Structure 1
């Protein structure tokens, strides 16, 4: 197709261009990266295709580029990854925001809350940048407290991956902490403020917490409430579940993004995912190198564990979680990271042409993954790899690459 390899970046295809391409397709195959932002984007695009009468299929995977071979009568669209006839890469805007604009151009009425949840999963604060207009359209109410997907505060706080504290992963421990606050049965604003203060102090107070922890936990506070039309209680909770289920059970995540009743299995996947990720941050063997903080573990949801490690525990600008067959890395701060373009990059180098000392984590993962019999993916600020080697061998190769 003439659109082969084209992206929806700022200087490439516009939303109207993409909508026109989708409208002309006989069949659209949407391949989303396995993260909350891309999953929400895939759901928005799929719903728009359904409204416009365009046959479609949607899937989610850690390596979208592996599923981009198109048949004669189909158009392949990758979301948050590379390849396909049309690509919505992770760029300076969340893919869910771009997908919302494409869906609007297709003539539908896309859900601004789903788009906002995707943006929050991508790390964007609601109301920042292009999400401001979505927040206006959604008309959500903000209250004191903590962002959780369930009305059960102990359950929500314990399993949230928007924060990490000593009680994370243990609903009983959270319940014990809440009992000390003498909260009313029906939580009012004052009660929610007490819960938020407890969470903030529990996240930022421990000896191992970094200064960044106190800043990052703000993402989990003062939630936007969602009404009965949505499967989860708050916007941040919705984002949290989307991101977890995209990695833990992609099929369930797709059903959720398409608007099907998948709340119960999605919450089960979220709890399982959260417990495992928090256990890594708490129990993994860690090591500190020049510019790199590493957690080695046997088995884990490495992407979420790396994000938690970077947000709440890493004293270095790059946090890495590695097992004997997969690894994930995140950029903790700006030092040593080339943030001029957060979109997927070529396989040429781990740094940038203008400054080879700057790190591109996606390229580093591609380089090391390929060298060790696997593959890698990611952007400048995050990366993921699967490989055929042990953790020690991967760590040595990764340190060399960055």
Structure 2
């Protein structure tokens, strides 16, 4: 079975704006990603500005629940809702275009946070106007160095999930690096540059070629002097963690709640578990996919999407990376093959009753990335089904 990905689709901002403009009540259902959480924040702020009642929640369901008002799906296509699916542009960039057509100025900092969380550079993917407005307002400015949500650089180096280095998950080693480089608590631009050079070397040494581009996204960050986090890229890392661990807190943060401390605590715990999962994986290379078998608790299923992204960017010689544990899996690729379709095939292969009910499994995602949760499955059967789907 081939899993060649269909060309990404993209919502028409005019159509979505028309669906929302006359609504008395909007129910927003976002997939659990940093991009869609930010998109929900952009839209909810606009709805609030227009005095339109709304409700926001994240979901892994295949359809939105019945209810009053207008239903809006963010990051996926629902048969019973207006949708802004993933596509060529980040969901948050499309949401910002929708807001603009509603006659409201989108919040550029929240929108750009989603753009970065989608793996896109600020200003790209249709976000040029957001970056221009953010720069005009003075809410972002570039500086040398490494992306971080806080001013504590050792904390950032140890817990970021934007790169994978020898000190990932190890704050003591990160502090040792800073000491060796002579980078103190109030670094000058030259200190930031030395640190960025060291991180770039450590992240790409022996790594596949795509690691260079991935590392670039974590360097020369956009400082956010008025925002809740130190840099835009650090904020995106936090939003991704919140989407997986505490989506309600993420929604509140996207709406402007004073929740940065709790958000950073969640990010730190999430990142530590991501890096711990990748500390000693069993790996295998197959035609089209690089597999990392990890040992995690069931409660750590939320860490596998970030782990799969890191394996794709910093370890995989193949276009698709799969991270799998006893009861969960996540895949990340370049979109040339459908990662989520392959996950569904893997889940179907573990069905001991032979029902082949992959559609009923808890699998969400798109062509580029997805994750699956299953119980009582045979991991080898899962990997075999996943690989078979790539043929």
TM-score, normalised with respect to structure 1 = 0.86
Query: Whose RCO is larger (CA < 8 A, sep 6+)?
Result: 2
Instruction: Give the superposition deviation at 1:82.
Output: 2.1
**8 Å contact from structure 2 (residues 346, 383) kept in 1:** no
Q: In the alignment, which residue of structure 2 is the partner of 1:391? A: 379
**8 Å contact from structure 1 (residues 94, 122) kept in 2:** yes
Q: In the alignment, which residue of structure 2 is the partner of 1:135? A: 131
Gaps of 5+ in 1: 1-7, 339-358
Instruction: Give the superposition deviation at 1:261.
Output: 1.1
Change (3 A) 1:155 1:81: same
Q: In the alignment, which residue of structure 2 is the partner of 1:330? A: 332
**8 Å contact from structure 1 (residues 64, 82) kept in 2:** no
Q: Please, what is the CA RMSD of the aligned residues?
A: 1.8
- 1:260 counterpart = 2:247: no
**8 Å contact from structure 1 (residues 64, 81) kept in 2:** no
Q: In the alignment, which residue of structure 2 is the partner of 1:350? A: none
**8 Å contact from structure 1 (residues 367, 376) kept in 2:** no
CA deviation vs aligned residue, 1:16-67 (integer Å, no higher than 9, x gap): 3322321322321101010011110011111111111111110113x2424x
Tell me how far apart the structure 2 counterparts of residues 9 and 322 of structure 1 sit (CA, whole Å): 28
Q: In the alignment, which residue of structure 2 is the partner of 1:94? A: 90
Instruction: Give the superposition deviation at 1:258.
Output: 1.2
Q: In the alignment, which residue of structure 2 is the partner of 1:375? A: 362
**8 Å contact from structure 2 (residues 342, 387) kept in 1:** no
CA deviation vs aligned residue, 1:225-244 (integer Å, no higher than 9, x gap): 1013x110111001111111
Q: In the alignment, which residue of structure 1 is the partner of 2:147? A: 147
Instruction: Give the superposition deviation at 1:214.
Output: 2.8
- 1:297 counterpart = 2:299: no
Q: In the alignment, which residue of structure 2 is the partner of 1:3? A: none
Regions of 4+ moved over 4 Å: none
Tell me how far apart the structure 2 counterparts of residues 377 and 185 of structure 1 sit (CA, whole Å): 41
Instruction: Give the superposition deviation at 1:186.
Output: 2.5
Per mean C-alpha deviation after superposition, the further-off stretch among 41-50 and 382-391 is 382-391
SS of aligned partner of 2:55: strand
Q: In the alignment, which residue of structure 2 is the partner of 1:279? A: 276
Tell me how far apart the structure 2 counterparts of residues 177 and 370 of structure 1 sit (CA, whole Å): 46
Gaps of 5+ in 2: 1-7, 352-356
Instruction: Give the superposition deviation at 1:151.
Output: 0.8
- 1:75 counterpart = 2:70: yes
SS of aligned partner of 1:384: strand
**8 Å contact from structure 1 (residues 284, 296) kept in 2:** yes
The total of aligned residue pairs comes to 363
**8 Å contact from structure 1 (residues 369, 375) kept in 2:** no
Per mean C-alpha deviation after superposition, the further-off stretch among 290-299 and 148-157 is 290-299
TM-score, normalised with respect to structure 2 = 0.88
